[in-house]
A and B are shown apart, each in its own frame.
Chain A
Amino acid sequence: MSSAVDHIVPPAVAEEELFRAQVYALLARLFARAPDAAFLTALGGLAGEGGEFGAALDRLAEAARDSDPAAVEEEFTTLFIGVGGSERTPYGSFYLTGFLNEKPLAELRVAMARLGIARADGVTEPEDHIAALCEMMAGLIGGEFAPEDGDTVGLDGQRAFFDRHVGSWAGRFFADLETSPSARFYRAVGAVGRSFLAVEARAFDLAA
């Protein structure tokens, strides 16, 4: 049995895992700051490969082609930064408790310490920002982040982190984004995030 696993599964699984990490990295990039002109152009060339996620990618590509960088920058600020309160609050603690910096953030910090992850120098936002969490998922999948005494985080460990810190709220955040009054480009980003997370959750169930 183990030889079958070794010979058949690893290359294919490795590709899927790589792709998952890339999607998380893409989401992290899009929620860390607004895409510039060059990145919008690259996004405009996306072509989905079917399914709900593929359709969402197609819509993201279309939105990228229809957007100009200055407008997306302004949209990003209104949605996530905004003077006097942004339209959306992309933090886990807020979604889970209604307030920033509550117990979910404390729990995340414990998990991060165990996995060798720290907030980057100069970053003042709490660690439960959606971009930071997507970076963490990408790093866990790629093996960049791992327990100090361990090797890499397997699917079980990824699932535990995902269920507690990402899947518990990010789907609602992405869905909210899809209906945000000021969202144009980020409406399409929300759809990509929501459909991806749905696949992630089902895939973790399959591996259980």
Chain B
Amino acid sequence: MTRNAVKATDEAVKQGKDTQGTDKGLARRDLFRAAGLGVGALGAVAAGVTATGGTAEAAPAETTSTGYRETDHVRKVYEVSRF
């Protein structure tokens, strides 16, 4: 887990906690687990999504904290201004 992923989800938790509370956060987690969305279920395929996310010439080699890599369809606009 990279810093960014932790930061992003920490932020999601913080934004939601006033209305969401711990119980709802846990219920949400339990739901994902019960539904078979366990971490690691995608295994090597998750890496495969990154590795084969685009041909070298077609895709910018931008890998994010999620392993998600921009492929053919969309890109980020604010490359610099946010930092």
Within 8 Å of chain B (Cβ to Cβ): is A82? no
List of 7 A-B pairs having minimum Cβ-Cβ separation, nearest first: A54-B36, A51-B36, A143-B8, A142-B66, A154-B15, A132-B73, A21-B66
**Chain B contacts for A21, CB-based, 8 A:** 66-68
Interface contact B74-A135, CB-CB below 8 Å: yes
| Distance from B63 Cβ to chain A, minimum over Cβ atoms (Å) | 10
Distance in Å: Cβ of B41 to nearest Cβ of chain A: 5
Inter-chain contact A144/B37, CB cutoff 8 Å: no
A-B contact count (CB 8 A): 253
For A4, the chain B residues whose CB sits under 8 A away are 22
Question: In the complex, A25→B67 CA distance in Å?
Answer: 9
- Give the docked Cα–Cα distance between A29 and B49 (Å): 7
| Residue tally, chain A, CB below 8 Å to B | 83
Q: Footprint of A on B, CB under 8 Å? A: 1, 4-17, 20-22, 24-29, 31-32, 34-46, 48-50, 52-53, 58, 64-78, 81-82
Q: Which residues of A contact B (CB under 8 A)?
A: 1-2, 4-5, 8-26, 28-29, 32-33, 36, 38-39, 42-43, 45-55, 57, 112-113, 116-123, 125, 127, 129, 131-132, 135-136, 138-139, 141-146, 148, 151-152, 154-156, 158, 195-196, 199, 202-203, 206-207
Choose among B4, B13, B71, B73 the residue that contacts A125 (Cβ–Cβ < 8 A): B73
Cross-chain contact A10 with B68 (CB below 8 angstroms): no
> Would you call B49 and A26 a contact (CB within 8 A)?
yes
Q: Are A139 and B45 in contact (CB under 8 A)?
A: no
| Closest CB in chain B relative to A13 CB, distance in Å | 5
Known contacts being A54-B41, A203-B32, is A118 close to B74, with CB within 8 Å?
yes
- The chain B residue sitting closest to A64, CB to CB, is B45
* CB-defined contacts of B39 to chain A, threshold 8 Å: 15-16, 18-19
Q: Report the minimal beta-carbon distance from B48 to chain A, rounded to whole angstroms.
A: 4
Q: How far is the CA of A202 from the CA of B24 in the complex (A)?
A: 12
Are A45 and B73 neighbours in the complex by a CB distance under 8 Å? no
Q: Which of B29, B37, B38, B52 has the most C-beta atoms of chain A within 10 angstroms of its own C-beta? A: B37
Q: In the complex, A116→B74 CA distance in Å?
A: 10
Cα A155 to Cα B7 in complex, Å, equals 14
Q: Are A207 and B28 interface neighbours, CB within 8 A?
A: yes
* B73–A123 touching, CB < 8 Å: yes
Contact B76–A142 (Cβ < 8 Å): no
Interface contact B31-A141, CB-CB below 8 Å: no
Q: Kindly list chain B residues whose C-beta atoms are within 8 Å of the C-beta of A19.
A: 32, 37-39, 41-42
Central interface residue in B9, B38, B46, by most chain A CB within 10 Å: B9
